[in-house]
Amino acid sequence: MAMKNIADRQDRILEIIVSSYVDTALPVGSRSVSKILGFSSATIRNIMADLEEMGYITHPHTSAGRIPTDKGYRHYVESLMRLKDINKKEAKLIDEEYRYRRRNIDDIIKKTALILSTITHQTGIILFPRFKRSVFKHIDLIHIGRRKVLAVMVTSSGIIKNLIIDTEEDIEKDLDAIANLLNGDYYGITLDDIRERLIRRLRQERDSFYHVMRQTTTMIDSMLELLREDELCLGGASCLLSQPEFEDADLAKPLLRVFEDKNVLSRMLEGDLDKEGIAVYIGKENKYKDIQNCALVTSGYKVRGELIGRLGIIGPTRMDYDYLIPLVGYISGTVTRILNELVEFDG
């Protein structure tokens, strides 16, 4: 590789430091870089000192070696990395994993979290489709037992969600009226908007239909609560905790908190829900303190052209971005294809 100026040399040395540290998790010394480039150790040390002054690398403790900083990884991702192609073996393995899936969106989502972890050796994360934000199209309510109702909801994108709702009383006699109200008056808006409109009507009206509207509002509340419980699916949490960076219990504890309540990761993915393409957050670029020793690589997935969820991986900042970014993109494309096939099949 011809290096015509100091900037070229700095980039090449940073590239070597990143690649070596990703592979070994060990600080990189000037002698090992010198052997690769053929420059003297003194020259390498001088350039490494410049890179450190610029904030791209640092040296841990008293080690003579250097490791990349968040800024160094960001420069690498934006300017230096060369994305690797998905090989046929990996593509086939991913496709095979989905071959025997059940035709059920929840199963596909849970399967995807495991596939992300298995293929990338990081922790897989996937946000369930945002049903509470999706436009409501149709609902069927089926009495399946005393104080139990199966709600089959269809969104405008064609996604079907089944929810089993526990009711405070047996409302079998009101189910047709509730379904007719929702399908007739609230077609084409989100569940959150349906709830707001029902509450306004309840405040304004006290006619004979008040009872049905109250039951409908309670039904919507139950549906929204169930949907909140299904916000994020994790796969392979142990993959992240087994990394050398997190052998220290003090560093692992914040991650355990994040994996336990999932709210931090849900908010991270929800914040990018309308973003096209791949998003990469490295270290302190993550606004939540508990994951500032980590990197996230995420991508959206679609149904009928509409972004309805997001998936990706969380791992140490020392991850193989060249390899993992294309993999996350490929898996998001596969999920998009499978969900669209599911919608067409059901339609």
pLDDT more than 70, % of the chain: 95
Q: At 1, is the pLDDT very low, low, confident or very high (cuts 50, 70, 90)? A: very low
Write out pLDDT tens, residues 127-142: 988 776 778 889 999 9
The architecture CATH gives domain 6-80: Orthogonal Bundle (1.10)
38 φ/ψ sector (left φ>0, alpha ψ -120 to 50, else beta): left
pLDDT for 131 equals 75
In angstroms, the CA 173 to CA 178 distance is 10
* Mean per-residue pLDDT of the chain: 89
Write out pLDDT tens, residues 275-296: 999 999 999 999 899 999 999 9
Domain boundaries, the chain: 6-80, 88-128+231-346, 136-229
Which tokens is 174 given?
A: 């009101």
DSSP per-residue letters across 215-246: HHHHHHHHHHHHHHHTSEEEE-HHHHHTSGGG
Write out pLDDT tens, residues 165-220: 998 888 889 999 999 999 988 888 888 889 898 888 888 877 667 888 888 999 89
Write out pLDDT tens, residues 286-343: 989 999 999 999 999 998 888 889 999 999 999 999 999 999 999 999 999 998 888 7
The gap between the terminal CA atoms of the chain, to the nearest Å, is 55
1.10.3720.10, 3.40.1280.10, 3.30.450.40, 3.40.109.10: which CATH number matches 88-128+231-346?
3.30.450.40
Check: CB of residue 245 under 8 Å from CB of residue 318: yes
Which tokens is 3 given?
A: 């290096």
The architecture CATH gives domain 136-229: 2-Layer Sandwich (3.30)
pLDDT for 103 equals 64
